[in-house]
């Protein structure tokens, strides 16, 4: 199994197992090299039945929630786009669940290749690290994953039911718990993506560390044989960076279906929540406004973390160019043409292979595009408020007339 020969995947394995329990990714055990073929097929069949049963539950919960939505629409007399927006949001839940299962089916082999590439790259980088003395990072990978992924997963599980739970008397408890579980599962796709991004980030840090050590040794190195060894190490480092770039492309292809739907669902849900906050604001007895604000904030942070970690990777990757420039400014680089040519080739590769986290080329995932999403959502919220002003005015007039009559 890849996790047995890779410390990175061994550290990430508990999170992958949690995601597999929620039906987001195949169990890591399926990628074991030592597992018998018959046992693997039995495990795949069992997991397929589990995934199909989960999908049926999602469809049933979607139908029940649409029925509840229609009751609220009729109660508050909002036969406008609130009904369409709500039904679209509920249907998106089914679409996300279906696409998650479809992604597992279509990209099962791609996920296996991603695991293999991560394990092979880690071994190659560790071998290249040998012979260099370097600093250790204060934050270990285990602690970083626990803080950046594990803690956020705990917060999602804890706060999603709190912010989305309705009044006990207004909802059927027979399907309220499955509904909360489904909402948690959908949002856990964000931490799953963040987990792979952080693994890439760790690989980039290690490659950059080896390059920093090459720079340190070249400062005072005059031995021809050692310089030739460092040139070979530089070439090996260049090839490893190219493999990281291809690995990021594979991860983007793997999340082509799920991440765009997650972003679309969260954006639409925020608008839906704001819409109902405006509708219920006319009710003085409604005390759940803080829940709606908390739900919107939770959905926004889930997207922000994915963009933030991607931005970290991009900055760490781009810093390699700065290190190459420092090596090129050394007197040794001018003295040895072989080293100079190697640096030039490495620099050209960095210019052409820009690290971009994207979902199959549909859009980029970084802070710039997160800012664009926020501006777009705020624009729709402003339009929504302007549309509701007329409704509030009519309600207020009718309320005043009824008080006058009384």
Model confidence pLDDT, tens digit, residues 191-233: 999 999 999 999 999 999 889 888 888 887 777 788 888 888 8
State the total domains in the chain. Answer: 1
Residue 172 clears pLDDT 50, i.e. is over it? yes
Residue 393 maps to a domain: no
- The larger pLDDT score, comparing residue 298 to residue 42, is at 298
Query: At 388, is the pLDDT very low, low, confident or very high (cuts 50, 70, 90)?
Result: low
Question: What is the C-alpha separation between 187 and 182, in angstroms, rounded?
Answer: 9
Cβ atoms of 122 and 203 within 8 Å: the answer is yes
Q: What's the pLDDT band for 254 if we cut at 50, 70, 90? A: very high
Least confident of 140-154, 262-276, 284-298, 358-372: 284-298
Neighbours of 303 (CB within 10 A): 22
Dist CA 47 CA 40 (whole Å): 10
> Counting Cβ atoms within 10 Å, is residue 258 exposed (0-12), middle (13-18) or buried (19+)?
buried
Tell me, what's the pLDDT at 218?
84
pLDDT more than 70, % of the chain: 82
Q: Is the pLDDT of residue 258 over 80?
A: yes
Query: 297 lies in which domain range?
Result: 2-379
| Contact criterion met (CB below 8 Å) for 23 and 96 | no
Q: Report d(CA 248, CA 231) in Å as an integer.
A: 26
Q: So what's the pLDDT on residue 406?
A: 46
Q: Establish if 65 belongs to a structural domain.
A: yes
Q: What is the mean pLDDT of residues 359-386?
A: 83
Question: Does residue 389 form part of some domain?
Answer: no
For residue 385, is it within any domain? Answer: no
User: Distance between CA atoms of 406 and 404, rounded to whole angstroms?
Assistant: 5
Angle at 88 between CA 83 and CA 90, to 5 degrees: 100
The pTM is what?
0.87
On average, the pLDDT of the chain sits at: 81
| pLDDT per residue as tens digits for the range 49-60 | 888 888 888 887
Task: Specify if 394 maps to a domain.
Answer: no
Question: Taking residues 19-45, what's their average pLDDT?
Answer: 80
Determine which of 4-8, 113-117, 226-230, 338-342 has the lowest per-residue pLDDT on average.
Answer: 4-8
Report yes or no on 391 lying in a domain: no
CB 312 within 8 A of CB 201: yes
405 within some domain:
no
């Amino acid at each position: 199994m890849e996790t047995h020969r890779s410390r990175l995947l061994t550290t990430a394995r508990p999170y992958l197992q949690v995601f597999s329990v929620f039906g987001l990714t195949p169990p890591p055990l399926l990628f074991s090299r030592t597992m018998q073929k018959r046992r693997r097929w039995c495990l795949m069949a069992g997991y397929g039945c589990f995934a199909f049963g989960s999908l049926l539950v999602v469809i049933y919960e979607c139908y029940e929630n649409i029925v509840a939505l229609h009751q609220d629409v009729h109660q508050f007399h909002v036969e406008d786009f609130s009904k369409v927006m709500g039904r679209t949001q509920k249907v998106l839940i089914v679409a996300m669940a279906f696409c998650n299962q479809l992604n597992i089916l279509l990209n099962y082999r791609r996920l296996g290749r991603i695991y293999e590439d991560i394990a092979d790259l880690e071994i190659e980088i560790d071998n290249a690290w040998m012979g260099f003395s370097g600093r250790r990072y204060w934050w270990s990978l285990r602690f970083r994953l626990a803080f950046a992924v594990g803690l956020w997963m705990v917060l999602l599980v804890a706060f999603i039911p709190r912010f989305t739970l309705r009044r006990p008397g207004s909802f059927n408890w027979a399907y309220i718990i499955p509904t909360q579980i489904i909402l948690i599962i959908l949002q856990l796709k964000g931490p799953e993506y963040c987990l792979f991004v952080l693994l890439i980030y760790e690989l980039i840090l290690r490659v950059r560390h080896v390059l920093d050590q090459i720079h340190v040794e070249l400062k005072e190195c005059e031995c021809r044989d050692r310089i030739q060894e460092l040139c070979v190490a530089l070439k090996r480092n260049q090839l490893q960076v190219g493999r990281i770039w291809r690995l990021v492309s594979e991860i983007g292809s793997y999340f082509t279906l799920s991440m765009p739907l997650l972003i679309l669902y969260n954006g639409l849900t925020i608008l839906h929540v704001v819409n109902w906050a405006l509708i219920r604001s006319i009710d003085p007895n409604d005390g759940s406004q803080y829940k709606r604000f908390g739900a919107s904030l939770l959905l926004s942070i889930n997207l922000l973390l994915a963009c933030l970690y991607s931005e970290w990777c991009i900055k760490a990757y781009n810093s390699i160019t700065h290190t190459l420039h420092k090596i090129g400014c050394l007197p040794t680089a001018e003295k040895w043409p072989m080293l100079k040519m190697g640096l030039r080739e490495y620099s050209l590769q960095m210019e052409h292979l820009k690290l971009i986290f994207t979902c199959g080329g549909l859009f980029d995932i970084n802070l710039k595009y997160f800012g664009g999403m926020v501006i777009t959502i705020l624009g729709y919220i402003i339009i929504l408020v302007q549309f509701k002003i007329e409704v509030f005015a009519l309600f207020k007039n009718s309320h005043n007339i009824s008080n006058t009559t009384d």
